[in-house]
Structure 1
Amino acid sequence: MTTLPDIPIGIHAGRQSDRLIFALIALGWIYALAQVLTLDTPGSLAQAGPGMAVFAHIKAQLFGDPFAFETALSFCAASTGNWGVLDILKAAAMWLGMICAMMVPVLLVRGQSSARNPHTCSGVAGYVAAWLPFCAVTVGVQWALQNADLLSAHALLRHDGLSVAILLGIACLYFGRYVFAAKQIDNDAEGLTSFRAGLALGRRCLPCCGPLMLIMFVIGLMNVVGMLVLTGLMVLLMAARSKELSLVLSVGALLWAVLLAAV
């Protein structure tokens, strides 16, 4: 009897999902940069948050006057609370892009794929789906803040009291994780073998990294420099699985809040 060749389906499945992971990360960052470089609000990109002055220079080289913002294409929602359907879709796309750029990299260090238990594309989709409710909530928060005229034209929170409150809330959440959470032991060894496995990993990541995502309101939703720093922190947080790192984040957020309140 002729035996069928042993086709390494698992390896191919893992490679396809790895390509999907890197494609989503690239798409998220490309979209974030496209938003910044086509922003059509008055003022300089230096007003978009810490570290963004360099993008004012880049935009000046690409389009001329960095204060003009005469580009025809805009990926951003209206800077006021008077949103239409298109503005809602733009805001949702922005937050989904941030999830791809900042949270999908976590899959490079968690639920690691193996030939025996490879990631699947459905598993990656499940992970992203776990973040969709967070996207919906943050879109609503963004609209409410803009409707109350609490976000600048560059989507930077301009109410120090709210910024301090967000930072204090983050400090409390991470201190709570340090005090009450058991040692983080997650069964990631099986890989994202199904939509349900990806959904479960996403739900575990949400309380760990969701608070850090909220810092974007403080440093500016258009701040790609801040996105890069926060991405590194979240990957480190999920890779280390350390309660002590939660304490460090708690203390850091507390000191930031105190400094902001004192200025």
Structure 2
Amino acid sequence: MFTPRGNSDPLDGRFDHLDRSGRAIAGLARRPLWPVLAMVALTAAIAWWFLVSMAGSIAAVEGSARPLGPGMSLIARFLPLEPGSFAAVIADLCLSGTSGAALAPGSAVATGLALFVMWFAMAAAMMLPTAAPMIRTYAEIADTAAGRGDRVVHPVVLAAGYLVVWAGAAVLFTLVQMLIGSLTGAPAAAPARGVVAGMILLVAGAYQFTALKHACLTKCRNPFTTLFARWRTSPAGVFRLGMEQGVWCLGCCWALMLIMLAVGSMNVVWMAALTVFTFVEKTGAGRVTTRAGGAIVAAWGAALIGAALA
């Protein structure tokens, strides 16, 4: 918990009894916004490195980055190759065969766990950066509350609740991807193709125009309203508050994440593009960006379906 900054604090924020390094550490502990944002950035960076390493391992196995999806050939030379690393093992499991009945039960479980790790890393890489404004808003409200002498909870608890929701979403995306693999006979991490890819893109594009998308996006853009109205002073309450924000974020972004099934779940080029789009969408105003993106994706999906049926 934060230490209140009111007049009752005998140190009054100076920590004169500590040396310089001690005062610096104590100051960070009392005002943890920047350390938490740094931790968010570090976590996202680790997730990105893990995903890029997975992509490099898959490209090495396939002999080319082209099977990873559109755009990946452009960065093939920059993909790292780390044989024997955890990322390489997960990548190998994702490519171990087709999903569903074509896999033995033990292999299906291993592939499912590998896909879950991949999707959760993807959520951390793509969604944590877009959650930074929400975490900052919470920390600012908490700092004001602490100044009044109120008990407040460290923002890392809020971030943990947020990530739990995306862990649950990773399970659902894993099941959907394995179902697609069982229907198409493609490797679990391969991009969907033809009519299946077109339908995924049509759904993702159409969702951008719905009232539910707009409602969830509004909540994501204005976290202050929700955080202030539902303020909690216990760790469990703040954890639930983080989960609530995670649900709003999931409602806003699940369709964008679904696009990864069509372009390749290990396509880091599209991951980066969708991360930028999501950040712009959440920090912007109006619905132009949302609808323009939806129209482009839906048109792409319709074109894929038309080409497959021609």
Task: Name the TM tier (shorter chain).
Answer: 0.7 to 0.9
Aligned CA RMSD, in angstroms, stands at 3.0
2:282 pairs with 238, 241, 252, which one?
Answer: 238
Matched, 1:32 2:51: yes
**What runs of 5+ residues in structure 2 fail to find an aligned partner?**
1-7, 14-26, 144-153, 233-237
Q: Which amino acid aligns with 1:42?
A: E
| Structure-1 residue corresponding to 2:204 | 170
Letter in 2 for 1:98: M
Q: Distance in 1 between matches of 2:264 and 2:65?
A: 11
Q: Residue type matched to 1:90 in 2?
A: A
More helix by proportion, 1 or 2?
Answer: 2
Identify the residue that residue 117 of structure 1 maps to in structure 2: 142
**1:99/1:183 Cα in 2 relative to 1: closer, same or farther (>3 Å)?**
closer
Q: Deviations over 1:50-107 (max 9, x none)?
A: 1111343335xx66xxxxxx94443222232223443222111100100010011112
Number of aligned positions between the proteins: 253
Q: Give the 3-state SS of the residue equivalent to 2:71 in structure 1.
A: coil
8 A contact 1:128–1:202 mirrored in 2: yes
Residue 107 in structure 1 maps to residue 142 in structure 2: no
- Does structure 1 residue 49 correspond to structure 2 residue 69? yes
Q: Which residue of 1 aligns with 2:304?
A: 260
Superposition deviation, residue 196 in structure 1: 2.1
Q: 2:35 — aligned with what?
A: 16
SS in 2 for 1:109: helix
SS of equivalent residue, structure 1 residue 50: coil
Distance in 2 between residues matched to 1:172 and 1:242, nearest whole Å: 17
CA distance in 1, matches of 2:281, 2:211: 12
Q: Is the 8 A contact 1:154 1:220 kept in 2?
A: yes
Which deviates further from its counterpart, 172-181 or 78-87?
A: 172-181
Alignment of 1:1-263 (within 5 A): 4-7=10-13, 11-39=30-58, 41-58=61-78, 71-72=83-84, 73-76=88-91, 77=94, 78-81=96-99, 82=103, 83-113=107-137, 114-117=139-142, 120-152=155-187, 155-158=190-193, 160-177=194-211, 181=215, 184=218, 188-189=223-224, 190=227, 194-263=238-307
CA distance in 2, matches of 1:11, 1:30: 31
Please list every run of 5 or more consecutive structure 1 residues that lacks an aligned counterpart in the other structure: 64-69
CA distance in structure 2 between the partners assigned to 1:125 and 1:182 by the alignment: 20
Give the aligned residue type for 2:37.
D
> Is this contact kept in 2: 1:127–1:198, CA < 8 A?
yes
Query: How far does the alpha carbon of each residue in 1:18-77 deviate from its partner, in whole angstroms, 9 at most, with x for none?
Result: 122112201210110110112264341122111111343335xx66xxxxxx94443222
User: TM-score of the superposition, structure 2-length normalised?
Assistant: 0.71
